[in-house]
Structure 1
Amino acid sequence: MKIILTGTTGFVGTEVLLQCLASPSITSIIVLSRKQLPESLTNNPKVTVKILDDFLSYPDSLLQDLRGAEAVIWTLGIPGASDLDYYRRVNVGYTMAGVQAFTEHLIPYVKSGTPFRFLYCSGAATERDQERTLWLGSGVRKIRGQTESSLLAYQEIHPEVEIYILRPAMIVSPTWRILGLVFGVGLSIRVERLAGVMVDVAQFGTANGNGVEGRVLENSIMNVWGLNESS
């Protein structure tokens, strides 16, 4: 399987890349990034890094290199910003430009009967209702909600792409166990579990996994994903 990753210089994206490297069924990983990744992450023959200066525009030469990909895991974003216009550009503009380019230029090259999946990492506190009054983080939460709404609307008119929205709560590392005790599993998720869900869904969707219906995965669902596996 060939897969496209974004946001691999971040906390979540790095773990996603590591788990894609560990998956024997993922044979090619194309990383879209503004800068080169550490050699420790790219010295595997599975990995190809493509430098993309502007995530609003995809050159034909790049799109040709991406042909054959069957899934995208989109963790590109910034956790918060004082400049909401820039935050909207990154979260809404970049995401929608990506899914539109991939739908138009890559799906025709996916083998018949194979779905093309686009996974977007959102957040548990996201608010889609743009008119609702929020007392905390209103701008950031509503912008992420705008992205979710745009993706869901896009899915309605483009059923040829399977769009998944993952809504993690506080993401913690395996060593931050005390935070897990303080916040509980309902309000946090370990980064390796979140990444594992992403890689699993990218390969298999949700039809075969954990009785999930629909394509919006809340934190509570992800925390019990693959419960039969060791955590």
Structure 2
Amino acid sequence: MKVIVTGSTGLVGSSLVRQCIASDHITRVVALSRKPLEHVQSPKLTVILHDDFSVYPPELIAQLTGAEGCLWAIGGRASQFPDLDTYKRVQVDYALAAATAFRDQLAPQLPEGKQFRFVFCSGKFAEWDQSKPLHFMADTRRVKGQVEQGLCGIADADTTKRFVVYCARPSGILPADASLAARLSGRLYGAIGVDHLAKALIPILLEGSKERIIENEALLSL
């Protein structure tokens, strides 16, 4: 299986690249990245430098043809961005542009019976109701909810049902080298290790899921 990974220089994306390379079921990993990937080498891995994640020109689509899924890990928390508009552009606009391009141009080229699975790394407590009062992490939760809702709408508009979306909602994500104190405090809010999260997302990519929205508790059990 050929897969696309985004956010591959970040915490989650870099782990996804490593776990995809390690999977016997994944034969090719295409990392879309603004920067070269350092310290990762594999005959399975192709890195495509791509500056503008809002556009997918024909020459890029040609390189992605044959992919059966995408692990989307671009984003983060609103507090990590200079302002809300920038956050929305990166989190919402980029994801929806990619999903639309992959639905319209990659999914139809797959063999009959195959589906293109778009797996979005969202966040716990993502909120679809944009007018609902929220008492903590309001911008992050609303924006992630907006992405989820938009992605599901893109999938629902595909009458062929060859493009499907799954949204994973991890709680706090612990790096592999998290301190003992961070791990202990993480138990209070159901934090998940980044490698555990990456390993949980891969079977969703490969096989799908009964649920379109995969909550943190389900991810911890995978």
Q: TM-score range by the shorter chain?
A: over 0.9
Distance 1:215 1:144 in 2: 15
User: For the Cα contact (< 8 Å) 2:108–2:162, is it kept in 1?
Assistant: no
* SS of the residue 2:4 aligns to: strand
Deviations 1:59-86 (A, max 9, x none): 1011011110001000011433241001
Query: Is residue 2:202 matched to residue 1:216?
Result: no
Distance 2:140 2:219 in 1: 23
| Amino acid corresponding to residue 183 of structure 2 in structure 1 | G
Query: Is residue 2:169 matched to residue 1:171?
Result: no
Corresponding position of 1:93: 93
Q: Residue 133 of structure 1: CA displacement? A: 1.2
Query: Is residue 2:145 matched to residue 1:127?
Result: no
User: For the Cα contact (< 8 Å) 1:186–1:220, is it kept in 2?
Assistant: no
Corresponding position of 1:201: 204
Q: Residue 197 of structure 1: CA displacement? A: 1.1
Structure 1's unaligned 5+ residue stretches are 207-212, 226-231
Corresponding position of 2:150: 150
| Amino acid corresponding to residue 99 of structure 1 in structure 2 | A
TM-score, normalised to structure 2, is: 0.92
Q: Residue 186 of structure 1: CA displacement? A: 5.3
Structure 1 pair 185/198, CA: closer, same or farther in 2 (3 Å)? Answer: farther
Corresponding position of 2:163: 161
User: For the Cα contact (< 8 Å) 1:84–1:140, is it kept in 2?
Assistant: no
Q: Residue 183 of structure 1: CA displacement? A: 3.3
Distance 2:186 2:71 in 1: 27
Distance 2:186 2:93 in 1: 33
Structure 1 residue runs of 4+, over 4 Å off? none
Corresponding position of 1:13: 13
Q: Residue 185 of structure 1: CA displacement? A: 7.1
Corresponding position of 1:75: 73
Deviations 1:122-169 (A, max 9, x none): 000322111111222222221111111111222221232110000000
Q: Residue 94 of structure 1: CA displacement? A: 0.1
* SS of the residue 2:67 aligns to: coil
Deviations 1:18-46 (A, max 9, x none): 011111221111111111110x21x2111
User: For the Cα contact (< 8 Å) 2:117–2:163, is it kept in 1?
Assistant: yes
Query: Is residue 2:186 matched to residue 1:183?
Result: yes
Distance 2:152 2:27 in 1: 29
Bigger drift between 156-165 and 170-179 goes to 170-179
Structure 1 pair 174/51, CA: closer, same or farther in 2 (3 Å)? Answer: closer
* SS of the residue 2:167 aligns to: strand
Structure 1 pair 160/185, CA: closer, same or farther in 2 (3 Å)? Answer: farther
| Amino acid corresponding to residue 120 of structure 1 in structure 2 | F
Deviations 1:183-218 (A, max 9, x none): 327521111111001111111112xxxxxx311110
TM-score, normalised to structure 1, is: 0.89
How many aligned positions are there?
217
Q: Residue 47 of structure 1: CA displacement? A: 0.8
Corresponding position of 2:62: 64
CA RMSD of aligned residues (A): 1.5
Corresponding position of 1:34: 34
Distance 2:48 2:125 in 1: 32
